[in-house]
Amino acid sequence: YLGPFLLTRLLIPYLEAARPSRIINLTAPSTTRPNLDDLQGERKFSSLGAFGASKAADLLFTYALARRLGGRGITANAYHPGIMKTNLNRTAPTPIRLVAGVLNRFAGATPERASEGLVQLATSVQFADTNGQLIHGGKAITAPFIGDRDLQDSLWKASCSLARVQETI
């Protein structure tokens, strides 16, 4: 999560110069609340927990960013491609690999198919004014706790500290 956070922060002056601009974070709804006291997983780590927490952090960051950039000609949204055919779970425990294999086979989209909505969000006039949303299947959806502004702001502050950037943009 911190890599995209820092990259986005560093690109903002260039996005402002090229307004109107769109920031899109590729993510997924997650029920794993990020541990703000251990964002880098130094005290406790599990690959699935880290994945879920990073997806939630992406969403919280996107919503916080949208609020901070509102009215400046830059929109920030998140895109959820749905289940995709990937090897992401190749090192997961066997039961998870089996379930993921079935989901990939019967419900998983190819990366090419899953990216169609991302391209639409990035280029379509339909989404020109959409800001601070999680988009899936061409419409806004929600996820647990992402609307929690206190959590958004706490994550923002912790991320700025870890990335060594100013809190204001």
Mean pLDDT of the chain: 88
User: pLDDT tens across 54-86, in order?
Assistant: 999 999 999 999 999 999 999 999 999 876 666
Q: Where are the alpha helices (DSSP H) in the chain?
A: 2-17, 47-69, 94-107, 111-123, 149-163
User: pLDDT tens across 10-44, in order?
Assistant: 999 999 999 999 999 999 888 888 888 888 888 88
The pLDDT value given to residue 95: 77
Q: Give residue limits of the domains in the chain.
A: 2-163
In the predicted model, is pLDDT for residue 101 greater than 80?
A: no
Token code pair at residue 6:
């820092």
Amino acid identity, position 147: G
State the number of CA atoms in the 13 A half-sphere of 89 facing the CB.
Answer: 16
- Which of 160, 161, 165, 162 lies closest to 61 in space, CA to CA? 160
Compare 72 and 100 and report the one with higher pLDDT.
72
The pLDDT value given to residue 84: 66
pTM, rounded to two decimals: 0.84
Compare 34 and 105 and report the one with higher pLDDT.
34
Q: Give residue for tokens 């990939």.
A: 104
CATH code for the part of the protein at 2-163: 3.40.50.720
Compare 142 and 14 and report the one with higher pLDDT.
14
- The mean pLDDT of 108-136, rounded to a whole number, is 89
